[in-house]
Structure 1
Amino acid sequence: MLSPFLQILAPELTDRLLADLLDLNDAVTVNLHIQSIDQAQAIRNIKRKMSDLQKMTIEEQKKAVRSGYDMDIIPTDLATYGEEAKNLLQDLQSRNERMFLVTVLVENIAAKRQKLFNDIFAASGVAQKYNCALKRLDYQQEQGLMSSLALGTNQIEIERGLTTSSTAIFVPFTTCELFQEGEALYYGLNALSNNLIMANRKTLKNPNGLFLGTPGSGKSFSAKREIVNVFLLTEDDIIIADPENEYGPLVQQFGSQGQVIDISPTSTNYINPMDINLDYSDDENPITLKSDFILSLCDLIIGGKEGLSPIERTIIDRCTRLVYREYLQDPCPENMPILGDLYELLLKQSEPEAQNIATALEIYVNGSLNVFNHRSNIQMDQHRVLCFQLKSLGKALKEIGLLIMQDAVWNRVTANRSKHKTTWFYIDEFHLLLKGQTGSFSVEIWKRFRKWGGIPSGLTQNVKDLLASREIENIFENSDFIYMLNQAQGDRQILAKQLGISPHQLSYVTHSGPGEGLLFFGNVIIPFVDHFPKDTLLYSVLTTRPDEVAGTKA
């Protein structure tokens, strides 16, 4: 163990000095002894020192005259000290500064002598970086140890006079912290103080969230990290929209409480787009809201650029109400209609428009794309974690599948609401759900989920995707939780303007490493770091880096 003191040579200090010392991966303890000086006494001391400097200046000028050279040539140290004394006096008299006597001790502890010397060498390098020096306390190590203990006594008589501004650099309690209790989740370490960031999104006015970052910055990893914490610390349900089939290995680790649902033309997992529960809407009649979904689905299938005509919309609404009549009279699973029932009803209508709609639906009922013409065989309410894998859906079914998946999630959220249960909904590659009918449905989710006990989170690369239209922009404005990782140049400027981020804060999302960025939580913005240990099973399940995934499989 060794306790050197910090000799401050720099005229100005930065708060990074203390941060860099504490960031050393060694047993380093920084001890501060600060004693304030009476303001009047401090001013008298400075004036006395200025008088001494003036006396020394006059003596040097006399020497210059006797030696026969210009009396204005005086030692540079005298000129420098005189100017600094004037500035210090001005700070005390007109800038509300005070004087403090500060002793900074840096205690290093190591198991071996060589390790101790290496640690001191590293700490000395940090001090030199900021124009300071670590001086060994020769023959005063015992006093240094006693002064480093939490006794409140300073046995080292080496002190440095500092003003309020300079002393404040050493006070590590000026950072914004976020540490909540209850069902608070871990979101990394505060990049300034290294304190834990523990937050509960349920306490926000609007818990909707966004994970933003360039490819490779750690968006999916961070979302998976939150999913694991939600699973372990709460009793809430979790639903994942997985367009790239990245979340399956994680969900499988949850055992019987997790289910991976592969939606594809060849899959045996079926979701019935006609599914409804009696809590589907706030209204007494849930058919009104369900009819709006069926209209959106038909608009996606039939409408084209101009959308459904008023006559077509009327026919679809009429048939929707008819197709649910038997189920509402006896709400048992056997009476739940499927898309083929709607198709049959349309064929029985007399209008020619109804025949056109039925013809357009035929490929999804009796044709090669009939994957959504089955009753649901997924027991969604028997699993806490559901993962919808959508990668295998072809181009013809992609957008339709996304819309049907959104409606299935809405069914689960409304059912959970009656059980007073929260539902977390994660959407990877969120930009895929920001166009057309799925975009409108996403906006509805961001506006209404909070009231229904849902907490949606979208993962996307570019914030520009969220500003494509005034309607989609509502998603960004209705998100009080934004997890910002490394950002592209254009996105940084947009975020700075939209969220009021300062240039210094913006530096934390400029060319930052994986797991580093800014957390926007309500009205708080905190820089964070989250470096997950790579030699763990959980890391191998969470990572999406191709080389690491390949290594895990091998």
Structure 2
Amino acid sequence: MFKKKKKLSVAAQRKADRLARLGYSTQDTLKFQDLNDEGLMKIDDDHYSRVYELGDVPFEAIGAEAQQEVIVSYGEAINTLDAKSHYQLLVVNERVGENAIENLLMPMAGTPDDVYRKEINDLMKARFSSEDNEFQVKRYAIITTEQKRASAAEISLSKAALAFQEPFRKGGVPLTLHGLSGEERVNLINQFTNPGMTMSKVDFQHQNAKDLVAPSFLELDNNQIQINQAHTRVLYAKYYPKVLEDDLIKNLTALNHEMVISLHAQPYNMRDLQKKIQTISQFNKIDRRRQQKDNAKDGVSSDFVSGLSEDIGQTTDALKEDFSKYGQKLFTGTLTVMVSAKNKSELRAITDEVKGVGEAEGVFFESAYNYQEEAFNTTLTLGWSFLNEDPDTYRDMTTLNIATQRPFTSVELQNPHGEFFGQNQITGNVITIDRKDKQDLLTPSGLVLGSSGSGKSVAVKYQLLNTLLNHPKDRIIIVDPESEYIEIGRQLGAQILDISTGTNNHLNLMDLADRTKLREEDKKLDLIKEKSNLLTTMFDKVLTLSDAQKGVIDLVTHDTYEQYEKPTLVNWQAVLKSRPEKIAQELALSTSPYTVGSQDVFSYETNLDLSNRFLIFNTKHLDENMKPFAMQVILDQIWKQVVASQNIVSTWLFFDEIQVNFQDQDSANWFANLWARVRKYGAIPTGITQNISNIMQFQGGRNLTSNTEFMMLLRQKAPDLKILKEELGFDENVLDQFVNERAEVGTGLIRVNGIMVPFKNPIPDHTRLYELLNTDVDTDKE
């Protein structure tokens, strides 16, 4: 259905009559010819366009110098466009669907743990329901080229997109461009042409793009458009200052209304423009000299010339300086804002709010009176301005004018099915992350870094709980040298494995991984040789072995596996004692405390239940000289557990006090290799430490850190801040702002695949969740 109201100007009425004679339809409202399945749009016979979704840049969190680099890079990107190109920036402030929060909530499982599920769900709902979280901002760059053929346009636009992104790459600005497919572009247009209506699968072979996105109902007025049930109005910037402030877009989206902001920029041919400006300048100088001569005849000072002549002189001089000294270009620019509402009164109120924001910035918005149809198309993602008939709607803009209207504010971490990690400190939006989603993280391994008293242990316990509740089939294994997680483990049903000489608990050091479950490339591994290396490394830590003793250990280990199908360290000791060499007898005496003596915790068959989905290896009460020895045995056991569980369940590994594995080069290499190996078998390891410096002193630690895509940073000490800045390349201003030595407990930064956001996740102290997470918390404040 399509209607035209009669309250139009004479010109507009003539246009309505003409269109009516042509059999006007809602499809005819959309001013493009075609769109293919690859996303290339034919606007008219001479112009084609493509849409690129812009990734965000953490503009508000970085320092002034870095912010300047972003704006300069954006300006240089805009300058790559030639006179046959057209640029459109589109910023969409859209309401998040009501189902967004429902997808994040944990379903109840009918278990005692439901109390925590409910409280976490309540936290999410409370933080999501605030008005600030009901909207999200998306940004698009539309590049148009003047070409006769689609194939030539495709080549031209591909080159233009690469050139547009290059200044950001050179400037170190992490901007991504995602070219929209035809289906994605149709869905984006449909947001505006059919508000609130979702689209089914797009079939370009049997349906025309216009038919797909045409409104079901459209009614044009001289001052608004009704599209289906939505009342829509497009405003344009009629007046604005020579230099626009850089927060206009941010302040408009902060109104928390559905709106679309569009900025068009059509480059001038700079060679012709410079000639024109030079000509104007020369004629103006001639006119000034004429005025000065006339003044002299009349006895008036030669300094007096007309205001117009003075303005022309200043403008042309400023433009020439902008072009020659600062490398700027000149564009014809159009700025529009499209707002939607449920009814006319609400539309008037939103319109007034937009005008109010504009006036505060020196920008005066007016409704595109009698040009709503043209303004509507100008604001769509077509890549062309259709408001050229009204000279009030556009003005000349330099590169800097356009670049200051940067669309970048802050980045978000929001996976639609992720776990709740708190709120973005800048935007207030919820942070949701799915470490198992390869679109977010190619490798899910993680590090949690925070000084004593930073809230590190509470943050890790929250992750543990979230993992247990969200992934009920997954396994969790914690290596806990300081008994930090014992109490929360007891309350959540963990199997606590107390590894110490004062118990009857045993782990068989000599167990081998099941070769049949190894990956094909690992089936060639010499598992006995690896076990021999492990024994050599461990005994060397407590005995300091000679090369000859290392050789004996290797021989004995191979002999033991030949003589016993499933040997223990007691069997290994027996084989060692049976050798006649003096060096073997001496070695047997030296190793006996750890094989058959008081430190024999790893000498017998494993008698611990390792089948529980939640295991905690507690080594706090182990003798200090045994801890390095024990750590490698435990890690070897974990490796076997990961191999056994692969392709069945995911195994989450948490290594508290990870720095204990970086005491020397051998242990550092061994742990780094294990980390890489368990990751390859599908495990999700997380290291926890207060001293990144201990890890970074070894190459294995540096490799581990640089290959970690999930990182949580809480309050840091000065030496560790220096390492994060200088060796890991973290932004200095971001670190100083959010994880300095005065940062609030429990707040910090989360980095996922290079994207970093500041987070906070306060837990109300009246909840069961608070009680659970704060068990033994004082051990983190040693």
TM-score by length of 2: 0.51
Closer, same or farther: CA 298–180 of 1 in aligned 2, 3 Å = same
Q: How far off its partner does 1:425 sit?
A: 2.1
Q: How far off its partner does 1:167 sit?
A: 3.7
Q: 2:331 matched to which residue of 1?
A: 98
Q: 2:556 matched to which residue of 1?
A: 319
Q: How far off its partner does 1:33 sit?
A: 4.9
Alignment of 1:202-281 (within 5 A): 207-217=444-454, 219-231=456-468, 232-233=470-471, 235-252=473-490, 254-255=492-493, 258-267=494-503, 269-279=505-515
Q: Which moved more, 1:507-516 or 1:192-201?
A: 192-201
Q: How far off its partner does 1:434 sit?
A: 0.6
Q: 2:580 matched to which residue of 1?
A: 350
> Are 1:438 and 2:667 counterparts?
yes
Asked if 2 retains the 8 angstrom alpha-carbon contact of 1:190 and 1:529, the reply is yes
2: CA distance, partners of 1:509 / 1:92 = 38
Alignment of 1:495-534 (within 5 A): 495-496=724-725, 498-499=727-728, 505-513=731-739, 514-517=746-749, 519=751, 521=753, 525-534=754-763
Q: What amino acid is aligned across from residue 528 of structure 1 in structure 2?
A: V
Q: How far off its partner does 1:471 sit?
A: 4.7
Asked if 2 retains the 8 angstrom alpha-carbon contact of 1:187 and 1:199, the reply is no
Q: 1:485 matched to which residue of 2?
A: 713
Q: How far off its partner does 1:150 sit?
A: 12
Q: 1:166 matched to which residue of 2?
A: 401
Asked if 1 retains the 8 angstrom alpha-carbon contact of 2:264 and 2:333, the reply is yes
**Structure holding more helix per residue:** 1
Asked if 2 retains the 8 angstrom alpha-carbon contact of 1:4 and 1:134, the reply is no
Q: What amino acid is aligned across from residue 446 of structure 1 in structure 2?
A: W
Structure 1 gaps of 5+ residues are: 110-115
- The match for 1:299 among 540, 549, 557 is 540
Q: How far off its partner does 1:259 sit?
A: 2.5
Structure 2 gaps of 5+ residues are: 1-233, 343-348, 381-386, 740-745
Q: 1:460-510 CA deviation, whole Å, 9 max, x = no partner?
A: 334432332345444335x24251525555545544555555xxx332222
1: CA distance, partners of 2:446 / 2:722 = 20
Asked if 2 retains the 8 angstrom alpha-carbon contact of 1:192 and 1:527, the reply is no
Q: What amino acid is aligned across from residue 483 of structure 2 in structure 1?
A: N
> Are 1:310 and 2:559 counterparts?
no
2:591 aligned counterpart, secondary structure? helix
2: CA distance, partners of 1:325 / 1:452 = 28
Asked if 2 retains the 8 angstrom alpha-carbon contact of 1:186 and 1:199, the reply is no
Q: 1:319-369 CA deviation, whole Å, 9 max, x = no partner?
A: 3334445652xx5xxxx52x3343344333333333333333343356544
Closer, same or farther: CA 405–5 of 1 in aligned 2, 3 Å = farther
2: CA distance, partners of 1:175 / 1:21 = 15
Q: How far off its partner does 1:512 sit?
A: 0.7
1: CA distance, partners of 2:656 / 2:363 = 50
Closer, same or farther: CA 401–151 of 1 in aligned 2, 3 Å = same
Asked if 1 retains the 8 angstrom alpha-carbon contact of 2:474 and 2:649, the reply is yes
Asked if 1 retains the 8 angstrom alpha-carbon contact of 2:476 and 2:613, the reply is yes
| Larger RCO (CA within 8 A; separation ≥ 6) | 1
Alignment of 1:53-202 (within 5 A): 72=303, 83=314, 86-88=317-319, 95-103=328-336, 132=361, 162-163=397-398, 165-170=400-405, 172=407, 200=436
Q: 2:688 matched to which residue of 1?
A: 459
Aligned residues: 509
Q: What amino acid is aligned across from residue 618 of structure 2 in structure 1?
A: Q
Asked if 2 retains the 8 angstrom alpha-carbon contact of 1:101 and 1:159, the reply is yes
Q: How far off its partner does 1:390 sit?
A: 2.7
Alignment of 1:390-429 (within 5 A): 390-417=619-646, 419=647, 421-429=649-657
Q: 1:421-441 CA deviation, whole Å, 9 max, x = no partner?
A: 443322122111112353232
> Are 1:11 and 2:243 counterparts?
yes
Q: What amino acid is aligned across from residue 432 of structure 1 in structure 2?
A: V
Identity %: 25
Q: How far off its partner does 1:549 sit?
A: 9.7
2: CA distance, partners of 1:20 / 1:548 = 45
Q: 2:593 matched to which residue of 1?
A: 363
Closer, same or farther: CA 161–396 of 1 in aligned 2, 3 Å = same
2: CA distance, partners of 1:51 / 1:491 = 62
2: CA distance, partners of 1:160 / 1:200 = 50
Q: What amino acid is aligned across from residue 497 of structure 2 in structure 1?
A: I
Asked if 2 retains the 8 angstrom alpha-carbon contact of 1:480 and 1:520, the reply is no
Q: How far off its partner does 1:136 sit?
A: 11
Q: How far off its partner does 1:20 sit?
A: 6.7
Q: What amino acid is aligned across from residue 100 of structure 1 in structure 2?
A: G
2: CA distance, partners of 1:191 / 1:450 = 31
Q: 2:44 matched to which residue of 1?
A: none
Asked if 1 retains the 8 angstrom alpha-carbon contact of 2:425 and 2:759, the reply is no
TM-score by length of 1: 0.68
